[in-house]
Amino acid sequence: MATLDVRLSKIHQHLLEITDGCNEDMHEPDSQGLTAGTAGFGFDNAGGEPEELTLVIERSRSNFEQELRINMADLVALARKARI
């Protein structure tokens, strides 16, 4: 599997894990303790965070908290590979 595919596959798996139990269409994720924000400003995935634009998803549950940071260019690359 190509390096890009491996990276995007890991991102996809992490997204599935942190959004587990949320509505499929992601309507009202806050009711599942999910919040999101952004950090950075550059739209590239060359590896220069914090300068690169990053989606930060946080999830608070009664017994643990999770955080997922996804580079926005990687998220767009993942969406471009989607087959619906």
pLDDT of residue 34 exceeding 80, the answer is yes
pLDDT of residue 28 exceeding 90, the answer is yes
Specify whether the CB–CB gap between 71 and 51 falls below 8 A.
Answer: no
What pTM, to 2 d.p., does this model score? 0.87
pLDDT of residue 1 exceeding 70, the answer is no
Omega cis (within 30) before 50: yes
Instruction: Name the residue with tokens 């220069």.
Output: 48
46-64 pLDDT tens trace = 876 668 999 999 999 888 8
Q: Say what the pLDDT of residue 48 is.
A: 65
